[in-house]
Structure 1
């Protein structure tokens, strides 16, 4: 499909066998996902799952005092709302669009019915869920043991993997909120990367200029997450034509 918006731009949907994809296609609804949109709140009832195509969504854990930290990012490789098919209808995390774009959504009951078929959709979603849990666990370790600069490198690389370009729109304040650190720490870390020629940062726009060097300055957490996704979901490397 060569349409501007196609469900196959989401790698999970693109990896489905023809029969399963054809069955789901009429039920998928294209939705715009603007920057900062809250797709679901902590403890809220989930009514849909989302398959991002060009948007990136942050999963945030929100504390009682209102502070938050990112526990995972989901883009065109994945699905939002795993609790719906994992046995629950709510989640303790908040889902917020960190990079504007589009995606497709599917009603909660429909994904439950599809998962209950115990076929290819269920197996694919379970492998994705394992990879997502790895990302969450590695993020927790990274936030505890690595520098803000290393965390920023990891975050940039994970975001780039889910975009079609090397440019991100994100203020330092938002990045600080995602990482759960002080804005001054992000300012210092971004400044180091810019002076080293790895990124260009101006007025909320980040352009990655030297990805190989960015990977070298990142901690092992990025590689661990990417390796696990590649191991569990090798079919996601097949891009829709």
Structure 2
């Protein structure tokens, strides 16, 4: 875990669990929930869910993170959020929706607790405390998606790139991110050349260094200054969500 804002949130969870949603459930129920999960290692580029297709599993990340993409028929997918150890993939099953509204792709090497979707429904019935925690999480996800819409519409590529790098850094151990310009262009919904120009500007200011497929965060505080206000708003949303649980 980087020395970012999530370090405070990370301390809430027990080290043996490392997913903050599961950690908030009382221990007896938590142990039973984990007993029907499998610990899995997920490699970057793995598609965990496709838009408008049924969920087969839900995932509670422990380390690393998953990128979420909105899919439109006549346009490339657009990145709208990340799921790290503060959340889960598949939370819309809570409201009875069996199909994923988004495409989910593993962005960095990821360890997660995986649970079959049918067992997730059973877990919600057996342990209502889990459902309570996840309802608060859904609210924070809606807030984050709303903020992402604002960011995409009103902010420039450089600021949005800085924000996404910070969000990724918050969910990564160390300062090196496995991110290609092609993948970042897909996330931000812009041309690869636009990402290259923005990354070059951040590099010229000694905020990042990049080689093929990797970006190193050199000056986090400087990167925060280059990011739009949406980054700090996103942190406040997560902190408020934690306080409600």
| TM-score, scaled relative to structure 2 | 0.89
Number of aligned residues? 231
Q: How far did 1:186 drift? A: 0.6
Partner of 1:128: 137
Partner of 2:20: 11
Whether the 8 Å CA contact 2:22–2:130 is kept in 1: the answer is: no
| TM-score, scaled relative to structure 1 | 0.91
Aligned with residue 62 of structure 1, among 71, 75, 81: 71
Instruction: Name the CA distance, whole Å, in 1 between partners of 2:116 and 2:182.
Output: 33
SS in 2 for 1:193: helix
Aligned with residue 150 of structure 1, among 153, 156, 159: 159
SS in 2 for 1:222: helix
Partner of 1:25: 34
SS in 1 for 2:63: coil
Q: How far did 1:235 drift? A: 8.7
Partner of 1:170: 179
Aligned with residue 218 of structure 2, among 188, 209, 230: 209
Indicate the larger mover: 9-18 or 151-160. Answer: 9-18
- Is 1:45 aligned to 2:54, yes or no? yes
Instruction: Name the CA distance, whole Å, in 2 between partners of 1:70 and 1:7.
Output: 31
**How big is the alpha-carbon RMSD for the aligned residues of Structure 1 and Structure 2?**
1.7
Kindly tell me: are residues 117 and 230 of structure 1, through their superposed partners in 2, closer, same or farther at Cα, counting changes over 3 Å?
same
Instruction: Name the CA distance, whole Å, in 1 between partners of 2:53 and 2:16.
Output: 26
Whether the 8 Å CA contact 2:108–2:178 is kept in 1: the answer is: yes
Q: How far did 1:101 drift? A: 2.1
Q: How far did 1:48 drift? A: 1.2
Deviations 1:27-85, CA, capped at 9 Å, x for gaps? 11011211110001111111211011122111111121351101111011110011211
Q: Following TM superposition, where does structure 1 have runs of at least 4 consecutive aligned residues deviating by more than 6 angstroms?
A: none
Kindly tell me: are residues 140 and 71 of structure 1, through their superposed partners in 2, closer, same or farther at Cα, counting changes over 3 Å?
same
Whether the 8 Å CA contact 1:198–1:211 is kept in 2: the answer is: yes
Kindly tell me: are residues 7 and 80 of structure 1, through their superposed partners in 2, closer, same or farther at Cα, counting changes over 3 Å?
farther
Which runs of 5 or more structure 1 residues have no equivalent in the other structure? Answer: 1-5, 237-241
Partner of 1:189: 198
Instruction: Name the CA distance, whole Å, in 2 between partners of 1:7 and 1:87.
Output: 30
Deviations 1:108-130, CA, capped at 9 Å, x for gaps? 12222232357321111111111
Aligned with residue 35 of structure 1, among 44, 55, 62: 44
